[in-house]
Amino acid sequence: MDPKLKTLFSPFQVGPVTLRNRTVMAPMTRSHSPNGVPRDDVAAYYKRRAEGGVGLIISEGTTINHRAANGYPDVPRFYGDDALAGWKKVLDGVHAAGAKMVPQLWHVGLHRELGMGPTSSECAVGPVDIVRDGTLVTRGLKQAEINEIINAYGQAASDAKNLGFDGVEIHGAHQYLIDQFFWDETNTRTDQYGGSIENRVRFATEIVVAIRAAVGPDFPIIFRFSQWKLLDYTAKIAQSPEDLSKILLPLSEAGVDVFHASTRRFWEPAFDGSDLNLAGWAKKITGKPSISVGSVGLNKQFAVEHFSGLEDPTAETSNIDDLCTRLNADEFDLVGIGRALLADSQWVNKVKTNRFNHINAFDEKALTTLT
């Protein structure tokens, strides 16, 4: 093995869980779970990535038990006997292949499309009411419903532990519900959940507290966050490291064990004046392990145009040498790999054995299949 890869393929400990290496399959929505139930094809899809050498698999987003949590067709849920039985089969296959796995717990918030399950008549929910053409399209959450959602996160985490998962990830990124509370553009509340950064992080910290109470002190909790939004790549929830500290430190104190910093390009600095990326800053601020992600292993950068087939074929190339240099320097601890693993389930094993020329290149067809 190339010496520069030594850290990437060394074990890593998160609480009582030992990962066989530092590679993480990033969560990616696949929309192959009719009625919210992952079937045998989903189980086989995840097992192939585990057999391909991945250390930790984070599931695609799985919706919590709230009537407006889901926003898209055929995404899996993490409640109900049928869905949980499906996830148990997924987990058993991943464990048999030597990897660890956590479900990503998800509420889409204002990105819900009317007519989606589980309650098709429900409009979206978010920090505040949104009225369009005289119709309420997003219902601002009142305290009672906030409490319902917090409890649903706790129940989902408890179910994950009972099924034998190795932890949970909270989806707090990409302009979904938790991130809508973080961002001052979508959170214009004037109560204890709005205004200052300290107030805007309150909803997320209450979710972490509820999960920690439900699973006990030793069950790993991962928190995924981002600056960029689905509808605005330039958006920021933190303008400076000081702002980021006001978000991440309360989450760390509430019980987060690992911070998963979602970026479009892992090599880009998070703030002026430092080369640290967002995962690097998360680790520096909290002292907790962090996951770096963003176009790892791709020959084209992350872009919405990639998903529509309109991408620029001259887009930048990511550099695994730079990735390993940063990892070896302890900037972050774990490496999230997304679309590269959709294209080639053996990506990790091929990198480990220096078979770079044998890696299948990503193209958008990989988004529509479970190969």
Chain segment 125-158, per-residue pLDDT in tens: 999 999 999 999 999 999 999 999 999 999 999 9
From the list 334, 306, 325, 317, the residue with the least C-alpha distance to 265 is 317
Q: How far is CA 134 from CA 115, 143, 184, in A?
A: 18, 25, 24
Identified catalytic residue from 72, 176, 193, 233: 176
Whether 117 is covered by a domain: the verdict is no
Taking the model in full, what pTM does it have? 0.94
What is the DSSP code (8-state) at residue 290? E
Calpha distance 203→149 (Å, rounded): 10
Whether 19 is covered by a domain: the verdict is yes
Whether 122 is covered by a domain: the verdict is no
Calpha distance 307→28 (Å, rounded): 13
- E strands, 194-340, are 221-229, 258-262, 290-293, 334-337
pLDDT at 292: 98
Domain that holds residue 321: 3-111+140-368
CB 237 within 8 A of CB 227: yes
Whether 268 is covered by a domain: the verdict is yes
- Give the model's confidence band at 298: pLDDT under 50 very low, under 70 low, under 90 confident, else very high: confident
Q: Which amino acid is at 167?
A: G
Whether 316 is covered by a domain: the verdict is yes
If you average pLDDT over residues 269-294, what whole number do you get? 97
Q: Quick check: 113 pLDDT over 60? A: yes
For the segment 47-71, what is each residue's pLDDT rounded down to a tens digit? Answer: 999 999 999 999 999 999 999 999 9
- Give the model's confidence band at 356: pLDDT under 50 very low, under 70 low, under 90 confident, else very high: confident
Q: Clarify whether 176 is annotated catalytic.
A: yes
Residue 295's region, left for phi above 0, alpha for psi from -120 to 50, else beta, is left
Q: Quick check: 306 pLDDT over 70? A: no
Residue 331's region, left for phi above 0, alpha for psi from -120 to 50, else beta, is alpha
Whether 315 is covered by a domain: the verdict is yes
| Domain CATH code at residue 307 | 3.20.20.70
- Average pLDDT of the chain, as a whole number: 93
**Domain count across the chain:** 1
